[in-house]
Structure 1
Amino acid sequence: MLVITTPTGQIGRQLVDGLLDGEEPVRVIVRDPARLPAHVRDRVEVVQGSHRHLDVVMDAFAGADAVFWVVPPDPRAENVEGHYVDYTRSACQAIAARGVERVVAVSTMGRGIEKNAGQLSASLAKDRMIMDTGVHYRALQPPAFMENLLWQVAAIRDQGAFYWPQPGDRVVASVATRDIAAKATELLLDRSWSGQEGVPVVSPDALSFDGMAQVLSEVLGRPVRYQQLPVDTYRATMLEHGASEAWAQGLVDMALAQIKDAYDEDHRVASPGPTTFRQWCEEVLRPAVLA
């Protein structure tokens, strides 16, 4: 039995689709089963509830051979690391109680981010908690998600621009969520691995933000520019969109860590997935902009 958390999320929904054609039974934890596509709902076992709650994960992990674990973001959280730890505490108790053999989780790429790197540091704290259970563990380590650009579709369409606090010439590795889901699928279906390791997952190309703007311009057939935001403006924008003070500061700290080369070493040693930034723009971003 494979247990999947966040089955309606960017990564989880693609992972579930990748598992449905296999022979392994799949169980999902979801707050609202109505959000599952009909073709998924009819072919998986559903445990309704939040995987933050111990009773829910205890039920879901019963008889589980492997678990896919994701801590969903909560921009309203009053403590970033506390959010990750609170979610994962229930998982660790259930892993031990139910005898789960393997866990695959979404973590983060990066060096020197154990402290003061916002959500990146919090994700590492989650990894340490899971590893302390002794379970066989693979931490998928992506850099920035290409899908983060989907939050800026309106700005790209209406202003011909996208915005972040990093310098335009700063190269920051990225990855499409489909490639993360594909690696997770591979690991969940493979019973041969053991131990505890990180698995960097990146795209074949590494572009600066100015380079991304050039690709966007070519794919969309219109000029698109990158505009660096002052850190204070970036924080204020997150607050305006409903983020808590702690979550907004965590995003700022994460951006500052990226500026300081947090991803560089891991990106060089990672085996890239198949999806280039141009391909992702053509297949995902362009339809979103034109919709």
Structure 2
Amino acid sequence: MTDSPQVVTVLGATRNFFKVGHYTLRRLAADAPQLTLRLAIPEARIAGRAVSDIDVQLRNWEPADPVSLAEALTGTDTMLMVPPIDRRVDIGGMYLRAAQKAGVQQIVCLGIQFAPEQCAMADEVATLEALLEKSGIAFDLVQLPMFLENILYQCKSIAEAGSFTFPVDADRPFSYLSCDDAADLFCRKILSPDSVDLSGNLMSHHAQATCAQWASALSQVCGRPITFARQTDEHFVASLAKYGMRRDAAAQVLGLWERIGAEGDAPATRAAELLLGRPSTGLEAWTRAHACCFGTEFTSCPHPHPPTQHMFGPA
């Protein structure tokens, strides 16, 4: 901890600030008050309302203006890099050029669970990894599975219709992790960069789950039946497209689910648990802890939720 950087910046391209970046800033504020924390995101003042109760610098930048991004990163020692799904390589490359100009020393970058040629998104992640290697900046590209928090996009459906949906069969196992556990891992890396390695292993809960199991867990915490129905591929793509995500990017997200359905998800590991020094959070425990997210009062729930304006801006 003696080598902790002075400035840690969470960098994102969208206003979808409620998952790992949010949890990481909160953990750092509590565990490392000596650090200067920064959120660099378009419309930063809007996203910053979610962390208005902690000391976080807000730096706005314009996606069409790389100079504004370099200015937003000025003074940053460590960057938590959250690449967007849409235009991952182009925007990720812009991140790295700005990081080089700003003198960033360390990057923790979010990756996915699959290898090149397993799905289209994995190919893009691999291309971005090559850019990270060429940047000359020390980095960890973290293999991450589905976040449990992804279901929070469906709070309204669960509360009002008693149902949720993903483009996968009910009994198909998937690997997962909670955003809070991911943030804990990131914080350990940020505070002790030489002793924590987040590369090379999937950072997941030690066991997989299915949507059928999730429906059962939701039914228990809600005290009423919650059902799961497989979402059609076209409906899934259309649901993302209506919020402005380009169709080919939406197809990449679908490709993750298609890979899980056809070949299985990347196997769960105990790598996260070993690094955390404690058990990671299981699906049932997480669902119990978030019971307030799935009732009619979910809009006033204290947990972080997706912003009213969806994560994807205009195409």
SS in 1 for 2:70: helix
Determine the structure 2 residue equivalent to 1:25.
36
- Partner amino acid, structure 1, of 2:175: A
Distance 1:140 1:68 in 2: 11
Q: Which 5+ residue runs of structure 1 have no aligned equivalent?
A: 74-79
Determine the structure 1 residue equivalent to 2:137.
135
Count matched residues.
280
Considering only aligned residues, what root-mean-square deviation do their CA atoms show, in Å?
2.8
Shift of 1:67: 0.9
| Native 8 Å contact 2:241 2:250 kept in 1 | yes
Determine the structure 2 residue equivalent to 1:77.
none
Shift of 1:196: 8.5
Shift of 1:256: 0.7
Shift of 1:215: 1.2
Shift of 1:124: 3.4
Distance 1:242 1:27 in 2: 27
Q: Which 5+ residue runs of structure 2 have no aligned equivalent?
A: 1-6, 274-278, 298-315
Pick one of 66, 71, 75 that aligns with 1:54. Answer: 66
TM-score using structure 1 length:
0.83
SS in 2 for 1:268: coil
Pick one of 11, 20, 23 that aligns with 1:11. Answer: 20
| Native 8 Å contact 1:136 1:196 kept in 2 | no
Determine the structure 2 residue equivalent to 1:174.
176
Determine the structure 1 residue equivalent to 2:99.
95
Q: Alpha-carbon deviations, 1:52-111, whole Å to 9, x = none?
A: 7421332233333211111245xxxxxx4xx11121122222333343221001111124
| Native 8 Å contact 1:139 1:199 kept in 2 | no
Pick one of 226, 229, 232 that aligns with 1:227. Answer: 229
TM-score using structure 2 length:
0.77
Provide closer, same or farther for how the CA distance between residues 197 and 251 of structure 1 changes in structure 2, counting only shifts above 3 A: closer
Structure 2 residue 285 is matched with structure 1 residue 274: no
Determine the structure 2 residue equivalent to 1:210.
212
Provide closer, same or farther for how the CA distance between residues 105 and 193 of structure 1 changes in structure 2, counting only shifts above 3 A: same
Distance 1:249 1:38 in 2: 30
| Native 8 Å contact 2:146 2:175 kept in 1 | yes
- Partner amino acid, structure 1, of 2:269: R
Pick one of 105, 110, 113 that aligns with 1:106. Answer: 110
Determine the structure 1 residue equivalent to 2:186.
184
Q: What is the correspondence of 1:254-265 to structure 2 with a 5 Å cutoff? A: 254-261=256-263, 263-265=265-267
- Partner amino acid, structure 1, of 2:26: D
Distance 1:230 1:150 in 2: 19
Provide closer, same or farther for how the CA distance between residues 208 and 52 of structure 1 changes in structure 2, counting only shifts above 3 A: farther
Distance 1:152 1:281 in 2: 13
SS in 2 for 1:138: strand
Of 221-230 and 268-277, more deviation after overlay is shown by 268-277
